A and B are shown apart, each in its own frame.
Chain A
Amino acid sequence: MDQSTDLLSGRILILGALSGVAEATARKLAGHGGRLALVGRRAERLENLRDDLRVRGAADVRCYDIDLVAEAHKAQQLSDIAAEMGGIDAVLVFYGALGDQTTADHDINEVARIIDVNFTSAVQWITAVIPFLDASSATHPTILAVSSVAGDRGRRSNYAYGAAKGGLSVFMQGLAHRFAKDGRLRAVTIKMGFVKTAMTAHLDNDGPLWIEPDDAADAIVDILKRKGSIFYVPWFWRFIMLAVRSTPSFIFNKINL
């Protein structure tokens, strides 16, 4: 790939392609003629996505039915995918799980599950993919990870999930610091607010703070074209979280969140 080729039409690996926000994002990338590798854990559904993305103009779409937590040979899988795609120019990490905090309050298995899916496995995939990005000839090979505003301050309703996402944010921040030395690779953290997807379908998800997956996807695609390493989506969460972080504990502890 030559230096001028833009990232959006490059070879993009999507971890957790069946996520609502991932699918919306993949549709935009297909419109740019991207070459996409979809990873998720249901072959038939991945094929539904593949057909759609092909019709929409993706230059190449391949499906990989992989359990992203249980997979023991992550580096090998990546090297197989890279071989088939002819390389990897960008990785988008979308998969995750909210878990059940009331169970996690006392059950160490649920705590471990939440940390594994949102943090441990994610940072392993990210670490394992770096050599492939190093080998890419894109101007700025990129890792983009979808974290959450929940990672900015722990709260009683989802602190296990928040801790895992907070850990992911710090990991990505450190990676951005590591890459900054050379300036070629990029590590981008998305701190996402409320989006209407399967993950939140059980909540009362109507109101001014809630956005559609399509809106989140617009923001993410726009971010892929820009410089910078930490983004709130939508942007206004930067200010909400500033307020949330600076609320003193004696007040915060009285709020049911």
Chain B
Amino acid sequence: MTADGANGAFQDRNRRSWGRVARRPHKVASPRFRDEVQAVLVGGCQSYKSVLGVGLGRSYSDSCLNPDGAVVDTTALDRLIAFDGESGVLRVESGASLWDILEFAVPRGFFLPTTPGTRYVTVGGAVANDVHGKNHHRAGTFGNHVLSLGLMRSDGQELRVSRDQNPDLFQATVGGLGLTGLILWADLKLTRIPSSHISQQSIPFHSVSEFFDLACESERDFEHTVAWVDCLSAGDNLGRGIFSRGNWSEVGSLTNEPARNRLSIPFDPPAMALNQFSVRAFNEAYFKLNKARAGESTVKYGPFFYPLDAIRHWNRMYGAQGFYQYQSVVPPNVARDATAEMLKEVSHSGQGSFLAVLKTFGDVKSPGMLSFPAPGATLALDFPNRGEETLRLLSRLDRVVDNAGGRLYPAKDGRLPPEQFWRGYPDAETFREYVDPKFSSEFWRRMIAG
């Protein structure tokens, strides 16, 4: 098919994932109306080896790339379809972003049941990675609040999938990395909020075990908990950080902040800008600043849930080489030791990141066969791409996760070793039966080759 300016035609476009390690040419179609999708999918499957639905490309890994095939960019399918103000159930097209939903819902006293650390992800992306947020111990994953989905398979058939209708396909599609077909729309149950503000507390901690004590004590009374860790500190300071916990404030207005982000990183700064020294200095300063500021405050939901959304293209900060994210979850019984060990590896390597995030997951069962969240502790790290040196550190971390019986988050990890994937996700073999024969991604090809 050639580019003819009509919606639905596949065009040549370069795409890369949020980690920016790889930039690849793709055939891209961007349908704007639901009635176009069938022809696009069927046509795409005939002309190219495989297809994949994609959203806003906020996944760091190769799970949102399909360079030997075609992708259907769903972001123009961004309409609200129906809303029931009594039950809070919103039916929405899959390409709508979480920001589109908040813009509509917050003034009406509703919020997302759970949200990842950025509002610039689509509903389809949030379902396909079964994303989690700071309230996992209460709410579980995003998929726990999805009532049903419209799914189009490569043969052009539209299926309705839910816990009652095609339940196996529902479990495969939630967290299914886009491989079971194209999600057209979702029914999502929103939660009521009394205001758009969060009453939060920041508490400094000085070790991994102090973190776990705080997390344990906070889970009952706080809906949202998360911690930032200084991953370059060593010795006595190992595992120090700032624990933050909060609840929706009972008082205050129901208002959105403006969507536009004023700050932007317009081009790649030299890689030097982010060297070991600057990261260490940042971590040190950040810890001191927050320690000094510790205490209670009421903040708008934006800075609480989405601090990075304030800077557009923040991922350029890591320079042209891009960066790796690394997120693991380890079971509760070994969480303290495994977390301390991973932090020791990172600190020892000196390749730390700004954004080390530590959180405990609760017991709410994830609905998807490949959902990442499981009871225990999750640690998210990022590392500027320094080639071999970085990859070696990541495999040392892999060993810790493996020994602990944990697993890694496919959305975040562009080099997740296949053995580790199959070991970490025992339902993955069952999942394979539900993969649409014409859907694939760079990630999936790596996994089935390995």
The total of Cβ contacts below 8 Å across the A-B interface reads 42
- Does A243 lie at the interface of the complex (its beta carbon under 8 Å from any beta carbon of B)? no
User: Which residue of chain B has its CB nearest to the CB of A49?
Assistant: B79
- Does A2 lie at the interface of the complex (its beta carbon under 8 Å from any beta carbon of B)? no
| Interface stretch (choices B48-56, B63-71, B80-88, B118-126) | B80-88
Size band of the interface chain B makes with A: 10 to 19
- Does B415 lie at the interface of the complex (its beta carbon under 8 Å from any beta carbon of A)? no
Q: Are B81 and A52 in contact (CB under 8 A)?
A: yes
Q: Are A202 and B80 in contact (CB under 8 A)?
A: no
Q: Are A52 and B79 in contact (CB under 8 A)?
A: yes
- Does A257 lie at the interface of the complex (its beta carbon under 8 Å from any beta carbon of B)? no
- Report chain A residues within 8 Å CB of B3: 201-202
Min distance, Cβ A15 to any Cβ of chain B, angstroms: 19
For A, the interface residue count at a CB cutoff of 8 angstroms equals 15
- Does A41 lie at the interface of the complex (its beta carbon under 8 Å from any beta carbon of B)? no
- Does A153 lie at the interface of the complex (its beta carbon under 8 Å from any beta carbon of B)? no
Provide the B1-33 mask, 1 if CB < 8 A to any CB of A, else 0: 001111100010000000000000000001011
Q: Which of A42, A48, A52, A201 contacts B5 (CB 8 A)?
A: A201
- Does A238 lie at the interface of the complex (its beta carbon under 8 Å from any beta carbon of B)? no
Q: Are A51 and B81 in contact (CB under 8 A)?
A: yes
Q: Are A55 and B104 in contact (CB under 8 A)?
A: yes
Known: A45-B35, A198-B6, A201-B30. A56 touches B11 (CB 8 A): no
Among B30, B80, B90, find the residue whose CB has the most chain A CB atoms closer than 10 A: B80
- Does B445 lie at the interface of the complex (its beta carbon under 8 Å from any beta carbon of A)? no
A198 to B8, CA, bound (A): 10
A49 to B32, CA, bound (A): 11
Q: Are A198 and B80 in contact (CB under 8 A)?
A: no
- Does B34 lie at the interface of the complex (its beta carbon under 8 Å from any beta carbon of A)? yes
- Report chain A residues within 8 Å CB of B4: 202
- Does A135 lie at the interface of the complex (its beta carbon under 8 Å from any beta carbon of B)? no
- Report chain B residues within 8 Å CB of A44: 33, 35
Q: Are B7 and A201 in contact (CB under 8 A)?
A: yes
Min distance, Cβ B297 to any Cβ of chain A, angstroms: 31
User: Which residue of chain B has its CB nearest to the CB of A206?
Assistant: B13
- Does A209 lie at the interface of the complex (its beta carbon under 8 Å from any beta carbon of B)? no
Q: Are A51 and B30 in contact (CB under 8 A)?
A: no
User: Which residue of chain A has its CB nearest to the CB of B83?
Assistant: A55
User: Which residue of chain A has its CB nearest to the CB of B259?
Assistant: A214
Known: A45-B33, A45-B35, A201-B30. A55 touches B82 (CB 8 A): yes
A20 to B30, CA, bound (A): 13
Q: Are B6 and A48 in contact (CB under 8 A)?
A: no
Provide the B102-145 mask, 1 if CB < 8 A to any CB of A, else 0: 00100000000000000000000000000000000000000000
Chain A contacts with B in 32-57, Cβ cutoff 8 A: 42, 44-45, 48-49, 51-52, 55-56
Q: Are A52 and B80 in contact (CB under 8 A)?
A: yes
A198 to B104, CA, bound (A): 25
Q: Are B83 and A198 in contact (CB under 8 A)?
A: no
Min distance, Cβ B190 to any Cβ of chain A, angstroms: 12
Q: Are B81 and A55 in contact (CB under 8 A)?
A: yes
A31 to B7, CA, bound (A): 27
Provide the A188-231 mask, 1 if CB < 8 A to any CB of B, else 0: 00000000001111100000000000000000000000000000
Q: Are B80 and A51 in contact (CB under 8 A)?
A: yes
Q: Are A198 and B7 in contact (CB under 8 A)?
A: yes
Q: Which of A20, A48, A56, A200 contacts B34 (CB 8 A)?
A: A48
A202 to B3, CA, bound (A): 6
Q: Are A198 and B5 in contact (CB under 8 A)?
A: yes
Q: Are B83 and A48 in contact (CB under 8 A)?
A: no
User: Which residue of chain A has its CB nearest to the CB of B76?
Assistant: A20
- Report chain B residues within 8 Å CB of A42: 33, 35
User: Which residue of chain A has its CB nearest to the CB of B32?
Assistant: A198
Known: A49-B79, A51-B80, A198-B32. A56 touches B5 (CB 8 A): no
Chain A contacts with B in 1-23, Cβ cutoff 8 A: 20
Q: A20-B32, A51-B79, A201-B6 given. 6 additional CB < 8 A pairs?
A: A51-B80, A52-B81, A198-B5, A201-B3, A201-B5, A202-B11
Interface residues of B (CB under 8 A from A): 3-7, 11, 30, 32-35, 79-83, 90, 104
> Could you list 8 examples of A-B contacts with CB < 8 Å?
A45-B35, A48-B34, A48-B79, A49-B79, A55-B83, A198-B6, A198-B7, A202-B4
